[in-house]
Structure 1
Amino acid sequence: MSTPDSTQARAAIITGADSGIGRATAVRLAADGFDIGITYHTDKEGAEATAGEVREHGRRAAVAHMDLTRLPSAAEVIEELTTALGRVDVLVNNAGTGTATPYLDLDHATVQEVLDVDLVGPFLCGQRAARRMIAQGGGGRIVNVTSVHEHQPRVGAAPYCAAKGGLGVLTQVMALELAQHGITVNAVAPGEIATPMTGQEDRDVTRVERPGVPLRRPGDAREVAAVIAFLAGSESSYVTGASWAVDGGMLRMGPMAGSHLDNDSWRRA
């Protein structure tokens, strides 16, 4: 991945960068020399706080509202941010939503919302970014933030698991088709991370006990951002179509986890 004009800084767009993994990624990529495009859904104040941290690293920040339930028009925000920053070298599809509803109780509107935000939105945003990367030359990087539930199911999360599983396979198709343009596409699959989505924002993860996770704790958003930063950088130039679990070894438990359960609590969302 190269920049045709050496005076033009590289630019990365991170969706859902108002908090959690998105904010940590924006700040990390700014530290790595990227100008940053930030999208948010409801937390404008959070997005502006992220922009402030980006600017503290001496990089430019552009903020835009994005509602991925309003497709396909929402994906136009990628174009707006690319224009504001002058180019796009990296897209991180991080915005997401979910539900804790039993399969038999789900309604169509809820299923559609989760699929739009977690799967169709990244599909369309990826198209927009890839087209601009191809037009400007020099290749690019797309990172889709999935979940350990790209690989393993969870009770009460049927549309979320369907969307994340679909995004994982979509990542592989994108990698195959975009390779000829010098664009790599990878997925990052977080486990339990201390973010607003898990009700643990700003917690000291070293003080939280998780016996069922080999590393015995949740992850920190900055640990996920570090993997995304690798995939966004020049040292990952021969890495594409892969899914990178950042889960403290959770997925490796497999039957080990099931064989040690002593009650039926797992049956409830």
Structure 2
Amino acid sequence: MSHSSLLEGQVALVTGAGGGIGRGIALRFAAEGAAVAVHCRTSDEGARDAVARIGESGGLAVVLRGDLTVEDDCRRVVREAADWGGGRLTALVNNAGVQPVQGLAEMTVADWRGVVDTNVLSVFACTQAAAEVMREQEGGGSITHIASIEAARPAPGHAHYCASKAAVVTHARSAALEYGPHGIRVNTVSPGLVDREGLADDWPDGVRRWQQAVPVGRLGRTEDIGDACVFLASRLASWVSGHDLVVDGGVSARPTW
């Protein structure tokens, strides 16, 4: 993991960074020079491994644990990240989320709330807490929510997930409007299908159909999402706020008829 200076001097918190996309985002932030607070709820081993890799490359990182379906934990994790950063927090990536598959007919209110609390409550509470820090520091900060192309293109069995991600996109626009005067930019990144270990074995038909549909001919990689988040947190995006950056290899450009 080589270092550059695109995020030099930044202190970032990445939620849900014990594995998958969040871990990839944390590693990319560190590679660009940021000190990174790596949040996890249950993926301790993955979070510790990410922090170890960052340290081996000369970067700074720490593991923070918390259940982000609980408002107090959201605020505590943000506060601990800022305290670790010497009172500063310049970037927040709200990545923590769940994506169960369940038909609407069988879905209960508890099922619905389980997804919404994880995917939306955490975004609201962490953003509010981070903004309280960022508005008091010189230069403000950036906040990026990880949404999904399913916010606009729902898939069967994902009604609660799709609705939650649509809410995340609109929350970012609302937050960009209200926090912009304080120097805080808020955006979303909407990934398409991102590869993970075992995905081709677990869902061979879906992977095959995606590869046939996507113009660039491959699944996404965690670093593709990390690169988008780095851009939005960097000076290169200093006039970008309230935007949904779709990172899907062009699959959303395909006609639906």
TM superposition shift of 1:141: 0.5
Using the alignment, how far apart are the partners of 1:73 and 1:142 within structure 2? Answer: 18
Q: Is the 8 A contact 1:62 1:85 kept in 2?
A: no
TM superposition shift of 1:142: 0.4
TM superposition shift of 1:59: 2.0
Amino acid at match of 2:36: I
TM superposition shift of 1:72: 4.2
Using the alignment, how far apart are the partners of 1:96 and 1:58 within structure 2? Answer: 29
Bigger mean CA deviation after superposition, 61-70 or 82-91: 61-70
Bigger mean CA deviation after superposition, 125-134 or 54-63: 54-63
Match of 1:187 in 2: 188
Using the alignment, how far apart are the partners of 1:88 and 1:129 within structure 2? Answer: 7
What is the 5 A alignment of 1:54-93? 54-86=54-86, 87-93=88-94
Q: Is the 8 A contact 2:67 2:73 kept in 1?
A: no
Using the alignment, how far apart are the partners of 1:168 and 1:254 within structure 2? Answer: 23
Using the alignment, how far apart are the partners of 1:228 and 1:9 within structure 2? Answer: 16
Using the alignment, how far apart are the partners of 1:41 and 1:73 within structure 2? Answer: 10
Using the alignment, how far apart are the partners of 2:111 and 2:161 within structure 1? Answer: 10
Q: Label 1:184 to 1:74 Cα distance change in 2 as closer, same or farther (>3 A).
A: closer
Using the alignment, how far apart are the partners of 2:228 and 2:57 within structure 1? Answer: 20
Q: Is the 8 A contact 2:214 2:250 kept in 1?
A: yes
TM superposition shift of 1:200: 6.0
Q: Is the 8 A contact 1:191 1:247 kept in 2?
A: yes
Q: Is the 8 A contact 2:66 2:73 kept in 1?
A: no
Using the alignment, how far apart are the partners of 2:9 and 2:217 within structure 1? Answer: 40
Structure 2 residue matching 1:143: 3-state secondary structure: strand
Match of 1:249 in 2: 250
Q: Does 1:10 align with 2:10?
A: yes
Match of 2:111 in 1: 110
Q: Does 1:101 align with 2:102?
A: yes
Amino acid at match of 1:11: V
TM-score, normalised to structure 2, is: 0.89
Identity %, equivalent residues: 33
Q: Is the 8 A contact 2:191 2:247 kept in 1?
A: yes
Match of 2:33 in 1: 33
Q: Is the 8 A contact 1:139 1:181 kept in 2?
A: yes
Structure 2 residue matching 1:156: 3-state secondary structure: coil
TM-score, normalised to structure 1, is: 0.85
Amino acid at match of 2:76: E
Match of 2:19 in 1: 19
Structure 1 residue matching 2:12: 3-state secondary structure: strand
Using the alignment, how far apart are the partners of 2:112 and 2:223 within structure 1? Answer: 30
In structure 1, runs of 5+ residues without a counterpart are 1-7, 202-206, 257-269
Runs of 4+ in 1 over 4 A off after TM superposition: none
**C-alpha deviations, 1:151-206, integer Å up to 9, x for none?**
2111101110110000000010011111111111110000000136x8369xxxxx
Using the alignment, how far apart are the partners of 1:61 and 1:36 within structure 2? Answer: 5
In structure 2, runs of 5+ residues without a counterpart are 1-7, 202-206
Q: Is the 8 A contact 1:147 1:190 kept in 2?
A: yes
Using the alignment, how far apart are the partners of 1:117 and 1:217 within structure 2? Answer: 29
Match of 2:231 in 1: 230
Amino acid at match of 1:246: V
Structure 2 residue matching 1:187: 3-state secondary structure: strand
TM superposition shift of 1:148: 0.5
**C-alpha deviations, 1:202-257, integer Å up to 9, x for none?**
xxxxx97710222222111101111110001011001111101111111112414x
Using the alignment, how far apart are the partners of 2:96 and 2:200 within structure 1? Answer: 18
